Amino acid sequence: MRKLIIQEWLSIDGYAADEKGSTDFFGSSEMSADSDQDILEGMENIDAILLGANTYKLFVEFWPTADSDKEIIANRLNETQKIIFSNSLKKVEWGKWNNAKLQRGDAVEELKKLKQQNGKNLVLWGSLSLTRSLLAKNLIDEIQIRTVPIILGKGLRLFGESEQIKFETAAIKQYDSGITLVEYKLKPQA
């Protein structure tokens, strides 16, 4: 069975975006450069990137035209299938790549089906509402959080109110930039 992995960037105070919805606090090349190689290596184990409508809109404006010589992840990301979960979008595109699929309807039911299919793992980036709904249905197998050494004070939180779900720490890594990566795996239920 395929795993669903959530990868997020957070501020020390737990925000995934500032109060205006910007993720500039982790987007600078000096902040993310030393973790990019780990992200690239992790992408070898996935064959689909899952996005909600808002994250798709942000990503499609940047990644399909990113300079692959400067953006270490651009080629791999652009070549990987994208599944965009939205009931409001009419169509999705990804520049010159023909690998973005619009998935309408119940995201939870579709993820249950995707996890049962053969293939590599699935990764969900950004997409806070989608993350929360999948977490509430225990469909997330791993959470990888990169914490940036900044306090935003206000913004959009990754986690909303939910039932208690237990994870165990699988790995911790400190980068020279000050970013800390913590990988959590769903704790097996007794």
Q: For residues 20, 37, 125 and 16, what is the CA-based torsion angle, rounded to 10 degrees?
A: -30
End-to-end CA distance of the chain: 20
pLDDT tens sequence across 128-157: 899 999 988 889 999 999 999 999 999 988
Residue type, 189: Q
Cβ(40)–Cβ(34) below 8 Å:
no
- Using 50, 70 and 90 to split pLDDT, how confident is the model at 29? low
d(CA 180, CA 170): 14
CA-CA-CA-CA torsion sign (82, 136, 158, 121) = negative
CATH of domain 4-179: 3.40.430.10
Place of tokens 């900044």: 150
d(CA 19, CA 15): 9
- Using 50, 70 and 90 to split pLDDT, how confident is the model at 190? low
Average pLDDT score, the chain: 89
pLDDT tens sequence across 49-61: 999 999 999 899 9
pTM metric for this prediction: 0.90
Residue type, 12: I
- Indicate the angle between helix axes 107-116 and 128-136, nearest 10 degrees: 70
- The Cα-based distances of 117 to 111, 112, 122, 171 in angstroms read 10, 9, 11, 27
pLDDT score, position 151: 93
d(CA 73, CA 40): 6
- Using 50, 70 and 90 to split pLDDT, how confident is the model at 69? low
